[in-house]
Amino acid sequence: MELRHFGSTRRDVPVIGQGTWYQEGDDPAAALAALRRGLGLGMTHIDTAEMYGSGGAEEVVGQAIAGRRDEVFLVSKVLPQHASRGGTVAACETSLARLGTDRLDCYLLHWRGEYPLEDTVAAFEQLLGEGKILSWGVSNFDVPDLEELRDIGGQGGPVCNQVLYHLRERAVEHAVLPWCEKYGLAVVGYSPFGHGDFPGPDTVGGRVLGKIAHAHHATLRQVALRFLVRRPELFTIPKASAAEHAAQNARAGNIRLTEAEMEEIDRAFPLGRRPSVLPTL
């Protein structure tokens, strides 16, 4: 599995990690097995949130990492309605208890809400000082939000921006990705398979993926994952509902696409126009 520095943290993090959104719809035992299989195959970047399953996903992650916490780059998120200074600290402590750990490697504001960013950043800096988080970032932030965050400052971050990113939704490439590349933020793509919007094998894009997959003895989804981490700041966090699915995701980390193959995929899934509002799920 390829490792890269995660933003300004200088931590080596696998380009393909493990997401837990919608895990609440999975069989808990299978979800736990998938996370453990993924860890064993090098997908040690695990992303979760207090929102997922109303804390249930954090509890499953806590079981998965028990006894191997030091192997994991662990990320969770605070909901915007909890993101006051005091609320952020309390939410973090609750997440830590569910996860069975004393620290998060990165803590994110899930999306922007009504609380001033200054208050949330102050809480992040407090948590940094207490050793309860080792870095912080944001999710679903467009460039104006990122600029405002940069003006606020803060010693510890942001180190990343987590965004919706899959083959049929590449809006972040217009401005968000270039901004993050300029200022050294990791860009973590969620929902890399598009929540039911993955191209079928008989579509134009599917045929392009199929041809490339055949050349690499891979699957269409593995090729898609590899394309989505083709630039140095890019990471992705697919969810797996079963151990074999996790193993298939992990194998994508070993594929090496040629420039010509990446250009073919780029043409098959055109970027499109920049939207007025950054797409989210």
Contact 105, 136 (CB under 8 A): no
Q: Identify whether 12 is part of a domain.
A: yes
pLDDT mean over 158-171: 97
Q: Using pLDDT thresholds of 50, 70 and 90, give the confidence band for residue 1.
A: confident
The strand pair at 136-139 and 106-109 is best described as parallel
For 122-133, how does the pLDDT look when each residue is reduced to its tens digit (9 = 90+)? 999 999 999 999
> In this structure, what CATH number is given to the domain that contains residue 119?
3.20.20.100
Write out pLDDT tens, residues 91-104: 999 999 999 999 99
pLDDT category of residue 137 using cuts at 50, 70 and 90: very high
Domain membership flag for residue 273: no
Residue 87 lies in a domain: yes
Could you give the CA distance from residue 6 to residue 236 in angstroms, rounded to a whole number?
12
In a domain, 268, yes or no: no
Question: Domain for residue 208, yes or no?
Answer: no
Q: What is the predicted pLDDT for the residue at 157?
A: 75
| Helices of type H across the chain | 28-40, 56-65, 85-99, 117-129, 143-152, 176-183, 204-215, 220-227, 243-251, 259-268
Query: Among 125, 88, 117, 108, which residue's Cα sits nearest to residue 45?
Result: 108
* Distance in angstroms (rounded) separating the CA atoms of residues 23 and 56: 9
Burial string for 105-131 (b: 16+ CB within 10 Å, else e) reads bbbbbbbbbebebeebbbbbbbbbeee
Q: Give the 3-state secondary structure of residue 162.
A: strand
Other CB atoms within 10 A of residue 75 CB: 30
What Rg, from alpha-carbon coordinates, does the chain have? Answer: 18
pLDDT digits (tens, 9 = 90+) for 45-74: 999 999 999 999 999 999 999 999 999 999
User: Do the domain assignments include residue 48?
Assistant: yes
Check residue 121 and give its pLDDT.
Answer: 96
Residue 154 lies in a domain: yes
Structural domain total, the chain: 1
Cβ of 198: how many Cβ atoms within 10 Å?
18
Is 276 within a domain?
A: no
Domain that holds residue 23: 3-198+228-255
Q: pTM to 2 decimals?
A: 0.94
The average pLDDT across 141-158 equals: 88
